[in-house]
Structure 1
Amino acid sequence: MTIQNLRERLGALKKDARNLLENKGSATWTKEEQAQFDNLADEAERVERQIDAHQRLLDNEAEDSFSKLPTKEKGAKVDPAMAAYENYLRKMSNRLTAQEIEAIRNTMSTTTGSEGGFTVQPVVASTLIEALKDFGAMRRLAERLVTTTGADLSFPSTDGTSEEGEIIAQNLPSSDADIAFGTVPLNTYKFSSKVVAIPIELLQDSNIDVVALVNRRLRERVGRIQNRLFSMGTGTAQPFGVATAATAGKVGTTGQTLTVTYDDLVDLVDSIDPAYQTEAQRFHFSQTVRRVVRKIKDTAGRPIWTPSYDEGMSAKTPDLLLGYPVEINNHMPVPAANAKSITFGDHSKYIVRDAMELTMFRFEDSAYLKKGQVGFMAWARAGGNLTDTNAVKAYQHSAT
């Protein structure tokens, strides 16, 4: 069965499950109806695992054999800066003309040129950094802050949920109530893509979109480590992950080291102060947690999970949990003792900071050329932290 057939099968299963939910409405569910919904959810999960396995196989084949290479659009207008960047990627140093070298230097600072590297200016760097949104859940959820340098930064924070006014009698002065400000660290850390080796033949093929090819490889490598640390980084020599920074809105009772209940999820939602309740609120967890919450029923026996049967196709309707959208992020902690496996709230209060000085290196030495390759490596500086812990709360499993 092809991956397209599997996606169509998944869409049909989710549609049947959603129709079952809609047809029952608010009526109490029978055990037979619960079993029917659970069977659909189980089959959907099996199909999803097959799709994931197929996709990993395709990705591995693409990584090993450079299959499905991006091609250039004929007649497309090329920005001069991007054209200079393409020449830097495509041509050997001794093949560049004086005009091309000048264009590269104008587009990419030569701060590290003596070592073979270039500091990429924002017009080029932004194409790589923006593409990271498509790779990691945290960049899709978070707000982005761009700074021109990577110097340490303390981001201001304040909590006004407990503040209120007062009644003043006639001719009496008003009381003082100064706003209490705090700060959270929003420092940057240097991320490496490691060296990406590209066959010389591909660089010489003018039909290949070499910018997209190299950027895709760099994006995947940098994107993986950034998303993992933005999700669960410790804050020590690395960013604070959202699961680390978020305070517990609900702690599971003794014995719930691997589980979560309907009441737990309700309490987690209600742990967010009404002042912070916005349309941006959503659940955020891994596929491992999704396997648990898909089976949870409310007090009337109704599933609290609403599947999106358009997922993977038009994606018009998201998966819902208790009526809130769900963001799947497999870098979130899995259920375990004391683990914060679920976050809920307005995740835009997590700030991803990018220092717009992406450094690119090109390696043409014998270690690569004897294999018919050219190496590329990128350094990127970024950081992240939850700037308002009242906006996002976590479900924390029991310690025992």
Structure 2
Amino acid sequence: MTIQQLRERLAAVKKDARNLLENKGSATWTKEEQADFDNKADEAERLERQIEAHQRMLDNEAENSFRNVPKKKDAEGAKNEAVAAYETFLRKMSNRLTPEEVQAIRNTMSTTTGSEGGYTVQPIVASTLIEALKDFGAMRRVAERLVTGNGAALSFPATDGTTEEGEIIGENATATDLDVGFSTVPLNTYKFSSKVVTIPFELLQDSSVDVVGLVNRRLRERIGRIQNRLFTTGTGTSQPFGLTVAAGVGKTGATGQTTTVTYDDLVDLVDSIDEAYQSEAFKWMFSQIVRRTVRKIKDTAGRPIWTPAYDEGISAKTPDLLLGYPVEINNHMPAPAANAKSISFGDHSKYTVRDAMELTMFRFEDSAYIKKGQIGFLAWARAGGNLTDTNATKLYQHSAT
């Protein structure tokens, strides 16, 4: 089957499963109906894996055919000056730059490290690259983003008013003082490396190749993955505070549930969030491994608690729902295991990702690369993250034994 046929089949399977949920309503499900739904869920998962495999193959083919990719230009047919200077920096050997090209690079990119082959990328280019990191990390898709001009240490103010309440006062009595309690959350940045990306001479010399897109994609894939992993599970020691470290536990599985979760556990996790928070922002977050389990959990009437998504028409999309709340898949969330915190629920926008807009690019033209017919590129980015409101998100933790 082609990837389009697989997608159409996936949409049809998910739609059938969703219709089955809607048609049954509150009625108790028979074992046959449960089995039918589970079979559809299994087929949907198989189709998703096939689509991912096809997509990887297509991406690899596209990467090997960059000569057919047209250059990107703006609406007027002329490239933005900053992007043009960035592309010149990527394409041309330093000893072959014209005085005008050197000046253009210096006008749009800092020369702080120019003598070493590096430049601080102008914000117009850096912001585009950093924004694209959302494609490689669930945490950036759900988190609040804070941009600072430098990476100096920063303490973010936090306060919790969910337990505060007013009072009844008698006539001529004095109101009681209740100061708002503030705390601070460290939101420091850390230095991330893309590792050296090597590009063959031929691609750099071919004007039909979108070299900016090629290099940027490699950079954001590498930086995006490590940042998402640490924003999810970082210890806070010489790295960001990850969600699973900063958030509190809302529900712990009963003894014996070292790799499982029950319907009651999920209900309890939902109810561990104070009702003062806006439930419209609530989401689930877990890995595909956990999804395989929760997709088949039934309520006390035997009804599936998972509502599959499917596309309606051309552009309208519906999200996968679990107990009525959207699901965000993050494969850096821990897998089920003893004491593992494998499920997060709540308002994940209370996690803040901080970017220091000092993306630095280096170009390597030394013999180690030249003798292989390659040029090396290396990016440094500074970012950090932390949960600024620990009451807005809670975790499910598996039993220790």
Shared fold (TM-score greater than 0.5)? yes
Q: Following the alignment from structure 1 to structure 2, what is the Cα–Cα distance between the partners of residues 114 and 368?
A: 19
Percent identity at matched positions?
79
Q: Which residue of 1 aligns with 2:35?
A: 35
After TM superposition, the structure 1 = structure 2 runs for residues 1-400 of structure 1, keeping only pairs within 5 Å, are 1-59=1-59, 65=64, 70-73=69-72, 76-310=77-311, 314=315, 316-400=317-401
**CA apart distance, 1:105:** 0.9
Amino acid corresponding to residue 71 of structure 1 in structure 2: P
Root mean square deviation, CA, Å: 1.8
Could you tell me whether the CA contact under 8 Å between 1:69 and 1:208 is conserved in 2? Answer: yes
Range 165-174 or range 329-338, more displaced: 165-174
**CA apart distance, 1:2:** 2.6
Amino acid corresponding to residue 3 of structure 2 in structure 1: I
The secondary structure found in structure 2 opposite 1:274 is coil
**What is the TM-score when the length of structure 2 is the normalising length?**
0.95
> Are the structure 2 counterparts of residues 28 and 77 from structure 1 closer, same or farther at C-alpha, using a change threshold of 3 Å?
farther
The secondary structure found in structure 1 opposite 2:293 is helix
**What is the TM-score when the length of structure 1 is the normalising length?**
0.96
> Are the structure 2 counterparts of residues 274 and 253 from structure 1 closer, same or farther at C-alpha, using a change threshold of 3 Å?
same
Q: Following the alignment from structure 1 to structure 2, what is the Cα–Cα distance between the partners of residues 67 and 285?
A: 35
**CA apart distance, 1:71:** 2.7
Q: Following the alignment from structure 1 to structure 2, what is the Cα–Cα distance between the partners of residues 311 and 136?
A: 26
Could you tell me whether the CA contact under 8 Å between 1:192 and 1:377 is conserved in 2? Answer: yes
> Are the structure 2 counterparts of residues 195 and 321 from structure 1 closer, same or farther at C-alpha, using a change threshold of 3 Å?
same
The secondary structure found in structure 1 opposite 2:353 is strand
> Are the structure 2 counterparts of residues 154 and 273 from structure 1 closer, same or farther at C-alpha, using a change threshold of 3 Å?
same
Q: Following the alignment from structure 1 to structure 2, what is the Cα–Cα distance between the partners of residues 103 and 372?
A: 27
Number of equivalenced pairs: 399
The secondary structure found in structure 1 opposite 2:311 is coil
The secondary structure found in structure 2 opposite 1:203 is helix
**CA apart distance, 1:91:** 1.2
The secondary structure found in structure 1 opposite 2:281 is coil
**CA apart distance, 1:313:** 7.5
The secondary structure found in structure 1 opposite 2:45 is helix
The secondary structure found in structure 2 opposite 1:378 is strand
Range 166-175 or range 332-341, more displaced: 166-175
Could you tell me whether the CA contact under 8 Å between 1:308 and 1:315 is conserved in 2? Answer: no
Q: Following the alignment from structure 2 to structure 1, what is the Cα–Cα distance between the partners of residues 170 and 253?
A: 48
Could you tell me whether the CA contact under 8 Å between 2:233 and 2:332 is conserved in 1? Answer: yes
The secondary structure found in structure 2 opposite 1:276 is coil
Amino acid corresponding to residue 152 of structure 2 in structure 1: A
Could you tell me whether the CA contact under 8 Å between 1:340 and 1:397 is conserved in 2? Answer: yes
**CA apart distance, 1:58:** 4.1
**CA apart distance, 1:277:** 2.7
Q: Unmatched 5+ residue regions in structure 2? A: none
Q: Following the alignment from structure 1 to structure 2, what is the Cα–Cα distance between the partners of residues 94 and 372?
A: 17
Q: Following the alignment from structure 2 to structure 1, what is the Cα–Cα distance between the partners of residues 363 and 299?
A: 57
Range 267-276 or range 198-207, more displaced: 198-207
Could you tell me whether the CA contact under 8 Å between 1:297 and 1:303 is conserved in 2? Answer: yes
Q: Following the alignment from structure 2 to structure 1, what is the Cα–Cα distance between the partners of residues 223 and 65?
A: 19
Amino acid corresponding to residue 72 of structure 1 in structure 2: K
